[in-house]
Amino acid sequence: MLQYLLTASAIWLLSLVLFDVFLRGETYHGYNRLYLLFTFLSGCIIPLLLWFNGNRSDPYFSQIFSAAQLWVKCLVLIYSAGALVALSLFTIDVLKLVRFYRKSTKSKQNEWTIVETGKQHPPFSYLDILFVPEKGSYSDGEWEMIINHEQQHSIQLHLIDILLLQLAWIIFWFHPLVYIYNSRLLLVHEYQADKAASQQPQEYGRFLVEQAVLQAAPIIAHSFNRSPIKNRIVMLTKNAFPRTGTSNLKLLLVLPLTLIGLLFFIKNSYSENKIKAGGADWKKVVSRVVDIREKQDTILHHLRDISPDATLLEMIVKEIKAGSLTAYSNRDGNFTTKLTIDAVNEMFPPHFDTFILTDPLTDKKATKIAKNDFDYASIHKYRILEEWIYNPATDKTEIQIKGISPLMNFYGCDGSFHGHRAMFSVRYSDIKNLIANYELYHPNNSLASHIWDDYFNSDEEKTQKE
């Protein structure tokens, strides 16, 4: 919801700035009306592309909201109260119109139903019903101006715009840009009606000023004195002059600028934080390092069914050499660069120990060199590559292991420790069934035994909870 409001606000703000700079003072009233309606609806609809295409919730904001549920409930309560007040005001205006219609004198004039309320208010209309204080209080010229003015509201279908904005006002009662849109569009309505109804601008302007002192009409009706009277009189004088080249240039300039802005927001709605994977909306690849000596107070990390001293790494290397498992370069996080068996063998060279033996019979000393296999038990740290996927259906972040890499100590030329270096990588999906056949156990604690696959997944679940 926060993302929706931010995107909608940005679209509305950009559109209103362009309107005020280029179009507000021009006489393209029909174009201005379409521009305001189009950009307002765009601000309502374009963010829905982001909402309904999956990013209805951000996992970070979900965590924040879950930690502040009281505040969220308070905000929902405040919003509901505001929407209820707005709906109540709208209902009161509707009832006011109904009361005027029922308790007033009615007559017909062509397609119009004239309702004489006997109260002091400016003329206003709703559909084909015209509300006036008293028909006889107006001169023939004034009555003709009123009929022509309100008829333009009916012909132009301005009521649809008003109802749309009233609905938006109820939903977005807290949003100031909705009120600005409402005032701009109602003013354009009056410009359109004034332009078509005013054959004599001076007399029409004088009549507008006379009506300005009366109280306002219901918000869902077309009121003769609505909008700033000064602006309407100024626009009457502009309507009397032909449009200039500068006005036409503004019209041509604002359209591409608005379309560019809307296209930017459409592209942003589809691309920003939008990585689709199995119906999920958000994913991120992370890595962590585990030391398998630190689980279940296990000092040794044996695998049963291989040998009493076989380690996880030894089991993996054995399968690689047998050709049943593929090793990948440690620089390739996408598992596309395969390593040959010879390349893997070079990572586990034997080490040679030199020592001196003394013959007990001859007392002669001889130098012996003993070849020892690689010490697999020295490798006990692994880098786990994970994919964190946010699922909006469950509002949870699911963690999937992509691969693991054994880490060996890396030393400089001076013998100083420089950290750990990944030897190679294997896909977790390739070894998952393999390691499920072997158990991690402590020689002196059979209760601590569990499957290697459970070991990695239990650590994964712990990370997810944290």
Q: Is 32 left (phi over 0), alpha (psi -120 to 50) or beta?
A: alpha
Most confident by average pLDDT, 62-71, 79-88, 324-333, 437-446: 79-88
Coil, strand, or helix at residue 107? strand
- Between 43-47, 58-62, 150-154, 342-346, the lowest mean confidence (pLDDT) is in 58-62
Q: Tell me, what's the pLDDT at 234?
A: 77
Q: What is the 3-state secondary structure (H, E, C) of 52-79?
A: HCCCCCCHHHHHHHHHCHHHHHHHHHHH
> Average pLDDT, stretch 117-144?
88
Burial grade of 329 (CB within 10 A; 0-12, 13-18, 19 or more): middle
Q: For residue 212, give both structure tokens.
A: 């300005």
124, 197, 401 from 229: Cα distances, Å: 15, 15, 68
Report field, pTM of the whole predicted structure over 0.75: no
**Residue 391, strand partner residues:** 396
The more confident residue out of 458 and 419 is 419
Q: Tell me, what's the pLDDT at 333?
A: 67
pLDDT bin (cut points 50, 70, 90) of residue 167 is very high
CB count within 10 Å of CB 7 equals 21
Query: Which stretches of 3-49 are assigned E, i.e. beta strand?
Result: none
The proportion of the chain whose per-residue pLDDT surpasses 70, expressed as a percent, equals 71
In the numeric block, the tokens 């015209």 are attached to 130
Per the CB < 8 A criterion, the answer to whether 37 and 292 are in contact is no
The string of pLDDT tens digits covering residues 356-380 is 777 777 778 877 776 677 777 778 8
- Between 148-157, 259-268, 325-334, 413-422, the lowest mean confidence (pLDDT) is in 259-268
Q: Tell me, what's the pLDDT at 390?
A: 76
Q: Tell me, what's the pLDDT at 67?
A: 46
CA 213, distance to chain mean position in Å, is 47
The string of pLDDT tens digits covering residues 384-433 is 888 888 776 666 778 888 888 888 887 777 777 777 888 888 888 888 77
The mean pLDDT value of the chain amounts to: 77
> Average pLDDT, stretch 296-303?
38
The more confident residue out of 81 and 274 is 81
> Average pLDDT, stretch 184-199?
83
pLDDT bin (cut points 50, 70, 90) of residue 170 is very high
Q: Tell me, what's the pLDDT at 241?
A: 57
> Average pLDDT, stretch 54-71?
51
- Nearest by Cα to 147 from 235, 222, 233: 222
CA dihedral (269, 270, 276, 280) positive or negative: positive
Q: Tell me, what's the pLDDT at 37?
A: 95
CA–CA distance, 161 with 176 (Å, rounded to integer): 18
Per the CB < 8 A criterion, the answer to whether 230 and 185 are in contact is no
CB count within 10 Å of CB 212 equals 15
CA dihedral (460, 461, 465, 466) positive or negative: negative
Residue 316 corresponds to which amino acid?
Answer: I
